[in-house]
Amino acid sequence: MEATAGWRCRPGGRLDMSHGFVRHIRHNQIARDAYERSVRQTRGRARGRLTSTPPRPRRPDQQVYRPRQPGGPGGAGSPGPPPAAPPGPRLFCLEFEGDDGSVACVIVHQGDSPEDVTRRVCAQSPLEPPLRRALCQRVQEELGKRRGTG
């Protein structure tokens, strides 16, 4: 077949890319990539500024009214001992399964000692002294991990 006037053909049936159309496409792709990269960096900087300061609570802590329990400390008109200090934030929930299959659940707080936690577990599921010591040691390890001392 003969080459038609106005059509540029190369040997082997390839298209002639010398007209510059593909160069314009490549130029536009490179420009778009550069623009998207700069937008991502700008957004990253904006996010970094927002998270650099610690978040403040939206509203101050509100006191919660808790009515007195009848017959409990301070109930039925009798002045009881002053309320105990709050135990601190919760660290974890300890679940202990006894030999009989019963599960004892104890919430462990920041200020709890391993002995107190062991005592509360043993109140729900009695343990022999060697097992008590082993449980106390394990609770000590877990508390150390969560308090950052172990």
What is the DSSP secondary-structure string of 101-120?
S-EEEEEEETT--HHHHHHH
At 143, the pLDDT band (50, 70, 90 cuts) reads confident
b/e map 116-136, b = 16+ CB within 10 Å? bbbebbbeebebeeebbeebb
Query: For 5-20, what is each residue's pLDDT tens digit?
Result: 556 665 666 766 667 7
Amino acid, res. 101: G
Q: Is 59 helix (H, G, I), strand (E, B) or coil?
A: coil
- pTM reported for the whole predicted model: 0.42
Q: Which two tokens stand for residue 52?
A: 């650099």
Interaxial angle between packed helices 129-147 and 114-124, expressed in degrees from 0 to 180 and rounded to the nearest 10: 130
CA distance 12 to 101: 82
Query: For 37-84, what is each residue's pLDDT tens digit?
Result: 999 888 877 655 555 555 555 666 666 777 777 765 554 545 555 556
